[in-house]
Amino acid sequence: MAMVLMEPDQANVLEYYLRACPAVTRVTVYERTADAVVFYTPGERETILKRLKSADIRDEEQ
């Protein structure tokens, strides 16, 4: 199984993108494991899932 790594810039973009969502109360992104822990307002699960699905953290310069 290939290990997925997130570049530091990608982790930062994802973190700032999620923090911009009013439903998010706290977020931590782990670049080495490409995981994100998101705390959000109760009842806003669908909002968070839609936000995650629409996230684009690719580096456009490559």
Cβ(52)–Cβ(40) below 8 Å = no
pLDDT tens-digit map of 17-44: 999 999 999 999 988 888 999 999 999 9
* Secondary structure (3-state) at 40: strand
Q: In angstroms, how far is CA 18 from the centroid of its own chain? A: 6
pTM for the predicted model, two decimal places:
0.78
Contact yes or no for 10/17 (Cβ under 8 A): no
Which of 46, 58, 57 has the alpha carbon at shortest distance from 21? Answer: 46
